[in-house]
């Protein structure tokens, strides 16, 4: 008996002070040299502000997209061969349709969990693009795109474009009536490009519209080529984030030369994994209770069918809105046509918007004459002109989105359709012009208020004898948990204290 105990204790002592984990690290480090890098990685500090988590929403909805997408690829058939549907959805029974559409309907009705996966995939995409936009807005309004992070801004903007493109390709895959209309419009937009339009359209689609090549090509772009690029760019985006470290707001103990927050392991990992679960959970709940893209109701796409109220998915709305409100000016001379009524709103205008966004860090550097490194952020109200310009641009793009739903608005509010369209034409021009000065003024007002937006305790307002109001923050109460401590470096080890109270839940390792 004692032999066994001796061996056990001897084995335990042989492992060293950190037990099996230490032993594993020894083995790995001897082969890969991971110990120092691993420790550095675990000590990485992440600032805690809530607005820094918006990019995580995008990242985790992308994870959901990939996982649900893999499921879908196992059942979806990217083919335009015609089949006759004989499934459980009676209104389609006996109808001729492409295999792409039939397999998508099959996914929705015959595959267990298929409808949930389809809906989660589609909701995740809407949330993915939405969270990228919100995240990009945060980056813009707090100045996180400044040196040294311009490359990350460029990568992020490219990710937005790829996400929008992949979303369009993805919802076109089921080949239903609504998305098929979108494909027809895409063909015509390519056609409108001067000089090369007809060639490009014939090459992308393999011939005249519709052809048989478009669904398989969209498929491989959607599941392989673009996701690979997105994954690569996301990897680069995160690598730059880790290498350059995250930015932070100015505050207690925070300087340009440090990062204050929580360490990667275990706190940040816990919070971010929890957020992954929450994001997936919200997407699954939406997929359960909110029906999205009911392709069986739309029916298969044939080129002579059309439905009314066929807006594209929300992130394409700015293109649809621009196409609706742009006037019918077309250029036609010397035997050639430039369809400006298509080319300008759907190619030139978005090109202009995105190009301005791409070069914005350079524009900002030139206007502010600021070439320094910045690791501290500014609050939007600290830069009134910058914030006003951003808000005006967002308002402009938002008006284009709203313009995409003119008929739905006219129907919902019982207004004449023609007048709604005219109203949108005027609003698109006027609202950015109104938004800029209003935003600028609001920023100035916030700056004027003492400590505006930052206080955690009440302001004690008193009046001087001259009648002026003075606001002074009240002192924090003694055990206010929201009062931050002075930041301290991540400890290498934790010393066991004399009292063995374990209310903290901190495990103490013996040295």
Partner 1 sequence: MTSTFLKKVGVFGFAALVGVGPLLAFASSSGASSNPHTAYQTTRKNAGTPNSSKVVKNPSTGVVISYGNKYITYNAPSTALVTLGQALFLQNCASCHGTEANGVPANGTSGAYPNLVGLGPATIDFWIDSGRMPAANPRAVQAIRHQARLTKAQAVAIAAWVNSLDPSYPDIPTPHLKNANVSDGAALFALNCAACHTIEGDGDALANDTYAPSLRDIPAFQVVEAVRTGPANMPRFTGNLSDQQVDDIVKYVTTEIQHPENPGGFGLGGLGPVAEGFVGLLLGVGILMLIAYWVGDRS
Partner 2 sequence: MSEHDEIRTPVSLQGISSDDPHLQPLSKNPQLVERVIAANFLLGLLLVAAFGACYWVNAKPWTLGATLGGGLFFLGVGLVAWGKYLMPRGPFVEERHELATSTEDRNALAAAIVERGGGVVKRRKLLGGLLGGGVGIFTIVAMFPLLRSLGPLPKRTLDTTDWKKGTYLVDITGRRVSVGDLAIGSIVTVYPEGLQNSDRGQAVDQTVLIRISDEDFTTQKGRETWGPAGYLAYSKLCTHLGCPVGLYEQELQLLVCPCHQSMFNVTNGALPQFGPAPRPLPQLPLYVDASGYIRSQSGYKVPVGPGFWERS
Residues 104-163 that bind partner 2 (CB under 8 A): 112-113, 115-116, 119-120, 148
Complex with partner 2: residue 140 or 187, whichever CB lies closer: 187
Cβ proximity to partner 2, 173 vs 323, nearer residue: 323
Tokens of 37: 């890098």
For partner 2, the binding residue among 29, 43, 56, 382 (CB under 8 A) is: 43
What minimum distance in Å lies between the beta carbon of 440 and partner 2? 33
Pairing of strands 96-98, 459-463: unpaired
Residue 20 touches which of partner 1, partner 2, none (CB < 5 to 8 A by kind)?
Answer: none
Q: Is 92 in the site for partner 1 (CB under 8 A)?
A: yes
Q: Is 199 helix (H, G, I), strand (E, B) or coil?
A: helix
Rank residues 464 and 488 by Cβ distance to partner 2 and give the closer one: 488
Cis, bond preceding 511 (omega within 30 deg of 0): no
Scanning residues 464 to 493, which ones bind partner 1 (CB under 8 A)? 484
How many residues make up the chain in this entry?
511
Burial of 410 from C-beta contacts in 10 A (0-12 / 13-18 / 19+): middle
User: Which residues, numbered 293-322, are part of the site for partner 1 (CB under 8 A)?
Assistant: 293-294, 297-299, 302, 304-314, 317
Interface of this chain with partner 1, residues 414 to 453, rule: CB under 8 A: 414-418, 420, 422, 425-426, 429
Residues 148-207 touching partner 1, rule: CB under 8 A, are 177-178
492 makes contact, choosing from partner 2, partner 1, none, with CB < 5 to 8 Å by partner type, with partner 2
Query: Of residues 239, 329, 331, 493, which one binds partner 1 by CB under 8 A?
Result: 329
Q: Is 276 in the site for partner 2 (CB under 8 A)?
A: yes
Listed in sequence order, the residues at least 6 apart from 351 whose beta carbon sits closer than 8 Å to its beta carbon are none
Chain residues 454-493 in contact with partner 2, contact rule CB under 8 A: 479, 481, 484-485, 487-493
Element (H, E) at 37: helix 35-43
Query: Which two tokens mark 293?
Result: 């893209």
Among positions 304, 371, 372, 465, the unique one binding partner 2 when judged by CB under 8 A: 304
Site for partner 1, residues 37 to 56, rule: CB under 8 A: 48-54, 56
What are the CB-based long-range contacts (under 8 Å, 24+) for 114-118? Answer: 114/71, 114/75, 116/284, 116/287, 116/288, 117/68, 117/71, 117/72, 117/287, 118/68, 118/72, 118/293
Q: How far is the CB of 196 from partner 1 (least distance, A)?
A: 27
* Interacting partner of 131 out of partner 2, partner 1, none (Cβ under 5 to 8 A depending on kind): partner 1
163 versus 201: smaller Cβ distance to partner 2:
201
User: Does residue 506 sit in helix, strand or coil?
Assistant: coil
Question: Counting Cβ atoms within 10 Å, is residue 293 exposed (0-12), middle (13-18) or buried (19+)?
Answer: buried
CA–CA separation, 473 and 450 (whole Å): 9
Query: What is the rounded CA–CA span in Å between residue 482 and residue 472?
Result: 19
Among 75, 109, 202, 378, binds partner 1 (CB under 8 A): 109
Q: Report how far apart, in Å, the C-alpha atoms of 58 and of each of 150, 474, 480, 501 are.
A: 19, 39, 33, 41
Residue choice 104, 106, 247, 279 for contact with partner 1 (CB under 8 A): 279
Q: What is the smallest separation between the CB atom of 153 and partner 2, expressed in angstroms? A: 16
* Window 191 to 230, contacts with partner 2 (CB under 8 A): 191-199, 201-213
Own/partner contacts of 346-355, CB < 8 Å, gap of 24 or more, are 346/189, 346/192, 346/319, 346/322, 347/189, 347/192, 347/193, 349/322, 350/318, 350/319, 350/322, 353/393, 353/397, 354/157, 354/161
Structure tokens given for 426: 């005027």
Site string for partner 2, 84-103 (x = CB under 8 A): ------------x-------
201 vs 388 by CB, closer to partner 2: 201
Structure token digits, residue 415 = 């207004």
- Rounded to a whole number of angstroms, the CA Rg of the chain reads 29
The residue from 225, 417, 434, 474 that contacts partner 2 (CB under 8 A) is 417
Please identify, using beta-carbon distances, which residue of 468 and 499 lies nearer to partner 2: 499
- At residue 263, φ and ψ (nearest 5 deg) are -75, 155
189 binds partner 2 (CB under 8 A): yes
Q: How far is the CB of 64 from partner 2 (least distance, A)?
A: 10
Say how far apart CA 45 and CA 391 lie, in whole Å: 31
Query: To 5 degrees, how large is the angle CA 436–CA 439–CA 443?
Result: 135
Hey, what are 119's tokens? 């809906």
CB 342 within 8 Å of CB 328:
no
Taking CB under 8 A as the binding criterion, the range among 193-201, 278-286, 331-339, 387-395 that sits at the site for partner 1 is 278-286
Contacted entry of partner 1, partner 2, none for residue 297, CB cut-off 5 to 8 Å set by kind: partner 1
| Candidate ranges 118-126, 186-194, 222-230, 501-509; the one touching partner 1 (CB under 8 A) | 118-126
Please work out the total of residues on this chain that contact partner 1, with binding judged by CB under 8 A: 84
| Contacting range for partner 2; rule: CB under 8 A; set: 157-165, 220-228, 389-397, 417-425 | 417-425
CB 165 → partner 1: shortest distance, Å?
17
Whole-number minimum distance, CB 201 to partner 2, in Å?
8
495 binds partner 1 (CB under 8 A): no
Tell me the closest approach of the beta carbon of residue 124 to partner 1, in angstroms: 9
């Amino acid at each position: 008996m004692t032999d066994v105990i001796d061996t056990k204790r001897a084995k335990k002592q042989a492992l060293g002070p950190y037990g099996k984990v230490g032993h594993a690290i020894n083995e790995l480090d001897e082969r890969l040299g991971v110990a120092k890098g691993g420790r550095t990685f675990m000590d990485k500090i992440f600032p805690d502000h809530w607005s820094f988590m918006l990019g995580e929403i995008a990242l985790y909805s992308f994870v959901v997209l990939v996982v649900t997408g893999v499921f879908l690829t196992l059942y979806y058939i990217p083919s335009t061969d015609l089949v006759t549907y004989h499934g459980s959805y009676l209104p389609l029974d006996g109808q001729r349709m492409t295999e792409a559409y039939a397999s998508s309907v099959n996914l929705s009705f015959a595959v267990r969990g298929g409808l949930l996966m389809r809906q989660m995939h589609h909701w995740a995409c809407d949330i993915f693009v939405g969270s990228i936009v919100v995240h990009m807005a945060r980056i813009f309004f707090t100045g996180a795109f400044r040196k040294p992070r311009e490359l990350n801004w460029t990568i992020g903007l490219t990710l937005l474009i790829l996400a929008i493109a992949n979303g369009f390709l993805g919802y076109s895959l089921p080949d239903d009536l609504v998305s098929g209309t979108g494909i027809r419009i895409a063909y015509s937009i390519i056609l409108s490009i001067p000089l090369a339009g007809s060639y490009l359209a014939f090459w992308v689609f393999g011939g005249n519209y519709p052809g048989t090549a478009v669904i398989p090509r969209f498929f491989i772009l959607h599941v392989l080529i673009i996701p690979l690029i997105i994954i690569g760019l996301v990897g680069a985006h995160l690598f730059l984030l880790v290498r350059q470290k995250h930015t932070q707001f100015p505050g207690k103990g925070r300087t340009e030369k440090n990062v204050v927050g929580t360490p990667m392991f275990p706190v940040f990992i816990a919070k971010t994994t929890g957020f992954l679960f929450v994001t997936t959970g919200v997407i699954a709940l939406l997929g359960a209770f909110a029906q999205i893209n009911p392709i069986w109701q739309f029916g298969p796409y044939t080129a002579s069918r059309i439905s009314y109220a066929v807006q594209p998915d929300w992130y394409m709305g700015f293109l649809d809105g621009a196409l609706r409100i742009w006037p019918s000016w077309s250029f036609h001379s010397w035997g050639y046509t430039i369809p400006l009524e298509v080319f300008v709103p759907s190619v030139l205008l978005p090109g202009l918007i995105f190009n301005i966004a791409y070069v914005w860090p350079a524009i900002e550097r030139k206007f502010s004459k600021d070439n320094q490194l910045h690791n501290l952020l500014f609050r939007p109200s600290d830069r009134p002109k910058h914030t006003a310009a951003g808000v005006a641009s967002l308002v402009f793009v938002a008006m284009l989105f709203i313009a995409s739903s003119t008929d739905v608005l006219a129907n919902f509010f019982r207004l004449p359709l023609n007048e709604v369209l005219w109203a949108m034409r005027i609003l698109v021009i006027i609202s950015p012009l109104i938004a800029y000065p209003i935003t600028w003024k609001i920023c100035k007002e916030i700056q004027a208020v003492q400590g505006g937006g930052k206080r955690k305790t009440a302001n004690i307002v008193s009046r001087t004898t001259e009648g002026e109001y003075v606001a002074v923050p009240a002192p924090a109460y003694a055990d206010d948990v929201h009062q931050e401590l002075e930041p301290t470096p991540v400890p290498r080890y934790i010393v066991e204290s004399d009292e063995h109270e374990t209310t903290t839940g901190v495990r103490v390792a013996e040295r």
